[in-house]
């Protein structure tokens, strides 16, 4: 059954995608693409807000992220994949919205606050970074998206988007549409080091592009129960990364239950469980890796998909921009 939902989602191209993305945002996009109008944006302009010194990094990761999307089965015939910088309408909308938000309001955004700390900007926050929620509001409203699938860290950005929508509509007339955040359902996957979140910057991620050798090395080095020293010792399953991954990726629930019982009782070594986890992950990742390698042989073809998607997406945003300018009494010759 098709719905009238318009979905806008995306990623900053600052690194290839990892298996945390796979069970979270990528699965959600695969599920949504067949019966909704889904737009998926590679947010290169947003990536530059904290990588202005690093243009090569952003450029190369546009392709990496695109390859990841296609390799997991995002279908450009169903989902419109586009590049943010190919759509000047998004930047123009941002310019208009900048006047509707105070600096104080931006500084109160808890996500922005956290990121400023994390990135160590101190008193040198780039204006573009501080204002990225406004640019993200432009991304969302340009498509009149009513659903935005995100992780919970992005909720304050959606809230700010809706404030802009209400403000715009009350000042200039009803043009923009409020969006609802749809939380991607899986809890965050821990990193292989046992830290709460898998992330490229923490160096604790398993990437979709990792070879089976690298995958094996990463799994064998995973954090387990530090007190499980001898095979015969009882081991802890809670907080044990290997079991967290089995819960997330192994569809054989009976087998996982059995392994957990054996591990807790003692007599099951980490190496055996890790080898099993490697097989489970490798079975899932092997076809993705293979498809990714095939696609990477023709980067020109892959980029032309992004170009086509961007042309399609741009037409939608041009219509919204026209309405916005009309409402704002801006001359359009």
Q: Is the dihedral of CA 189, 186, 152, 8 positive or negative?
A: positive
CA–CA–CA angle 89, 67, 196 (5° rounding):
90
Q: Which residues contact 216 (CB under 8 A, 6 or more apart)?
A: 278, 282
Cα–Cα distance measured from residue 33 to residue 76, given in angstroms and rounded to the nearest whole number:
10
Q: Which is nearer to ligand TRP, 36 or 241 (CB)?
A: 36
Counting Cβ atoms within 10 Å, is residue 93 exposed (0-12), middle (13-18) or buried (19+)? Answer: buried
Q: Which stretch binds ligand TRP (CB under 6 A): 7-15, 186-194, 214-222, 311-319?
A: 7-15
Q: Using CB under 6 A, which residues numbered 87 to 146 contact ligand TRP?
A: 136, 139-140
How many other C-beta atoms are found inside a 10 Å radius of the C-beta of residue 106?
20
Q: Which is nearer to ligand TRP, 41 or 209 (CB)?
A: 41
Q: Does 289 bind ligand TRP (CB under 6 A)?
A: no
- 226-230 long-range contacts (CB < 8 A, ≥24 apart) are 228/270
Considering only CA atoms, which of 258, 282, 203, 268 is closest in space to residue 234?
268
Q: Which is nearer to ligand TRP, 17 or 219 (CB)?
A: 17
Q: Does 8 bind ligand TRP (CB under 6 A)?
A: yes
Q: How far is the CB of 133 from ligand TRP (least distance, A)?
A: 9
Q: Does 79 bind ligand TRP (CB under 6 A)?
A: no
Cα–Cα distance measured from residue 20 to residue 3, given in angstroms and rounded to the nearest whole number:
28
Among the listed residues 43, 116, 125, 285, the single contact to ligand TRP using CB under 6 A: 43
Q: Which stretch binds ligand TRP (CB under 6 A): 26-34, 39-47, 115-123, 212-220?
A: 39-47
Strand-pair partners of 82: 41
Q: Which is nearer to ligand TRP, 70 or 145 (CB)?
A: 145
Q: Which is nearer to ligand TRP, 140 or 244 (CB)?
A: 140
Q: How far is the CB of 157 from ligand TRP (least distance, A)?
A: 6
Residues 40/181, Cβ–Cβ less than 8 Å = no
Q: How far is the CB of 139 from ligand TRP (least distance, A)?
A: 4
Q: Does 80 bind ligand TRP (CB under 6 A)?
A: no
- Strand ranges (E), the chain: 6-11, 37-42, 79-83, 147-150, 180-183
Rounded-to-5 percentages of helix, strand, coil across the chain: 55, 10, 35
Among the listed residues 10, 20, 24, 191, the single contact to ligand TRP using CB under 6 A: 10
**How many residues lie near ligand TRP (CB under 6 A)?**
14
Q: Which is nearer to ligand TRP, 12 or 18 (CB)?
A: 12
Residue 38 phi/psi, 5° resolution?
A: -110, 130
Question: Binding marks (x or -) toward ligand TRP, 228..267, rule CB under 6 A?
Answer: ----------------------------------------
Question: Binding marks (x or -) toward ligand TRP, 139..178, rule CB under 6 A?
Answer: xx-------x-x---x------------------------
Cα–Cα distance measured from residue 189 to residue 173, given in angstroms and rounded to the nearest whole number:
43
The footprint of ligand TRP (CB under 6 A) covers 8-12, 41, 43, 46, 136, 139-140, 148, 150, 154
């Amino acid at each position: 059954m098709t719905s009238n939902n318009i979905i806008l989602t995306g990623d900053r191209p600052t690194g290839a995608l990892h298996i945390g993305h796979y069970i979270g945002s990528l699965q959600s996009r695969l599920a949504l693409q067949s019966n909704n109008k889904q737009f998926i944006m590679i947010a290169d302009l947003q990536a530059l807000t904290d990588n202005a010194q690093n243009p090569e990094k952003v450029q190369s990761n546009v392709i990496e992220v695109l390859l990841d999307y296609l390799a997991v089965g995002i279908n450009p015939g169903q989902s419109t994949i586009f590049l943010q910088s190919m759509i000047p309408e998004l930047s123009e909308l941002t310019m208009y919205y900048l006047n509707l938000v105070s600096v104080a309001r931006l500084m109160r955004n808890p996500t922005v606050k956290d990121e400023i700390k994390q990135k160590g900007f101190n008193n040198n926050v780039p204006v573009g970074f501080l204002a990225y929620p406004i640019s993200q509001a432009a991304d969302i409203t340009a498509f009149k998206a009513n659903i935005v699938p995100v992780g919970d860290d992005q909720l304050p950005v959606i809230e700010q988007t809706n404030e802009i929508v209400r403000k715009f509509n009350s000042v200039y007339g009803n043009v923009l549409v409020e969006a609802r955040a749809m939380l991607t359902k899986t809890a965050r996957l821990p990193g292989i080091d046992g830290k709460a979140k898998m992330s490229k910057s923490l160096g604790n991620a398993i990437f979709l592009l990792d070879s089976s050798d690298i995958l094996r090395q990463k799994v064998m080095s995973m954090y387990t129960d530090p007190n499980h020293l001898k095979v015969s010792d009882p081991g802890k399953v809670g907080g044990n990364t290997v079991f967290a991954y089995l819960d997330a990726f192994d569809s054989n629930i009976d087998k996982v239950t059995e392994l957990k019982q054996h591990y807790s009782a003692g007599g099951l070594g980490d190496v055996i469980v890790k080898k099993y986890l490697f097989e489970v992950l490798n079975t899932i990742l092997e076809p993705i890796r293979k498809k990714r390698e095939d696609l990477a042989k023709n980067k020109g073809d892959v980029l032309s998909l992004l170009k086509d998607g961007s042309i399609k997406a741009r037409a939608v945003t041009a219509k919204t921009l026209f309405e916005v300018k009309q409402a704002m009494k801006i001359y359009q010759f």
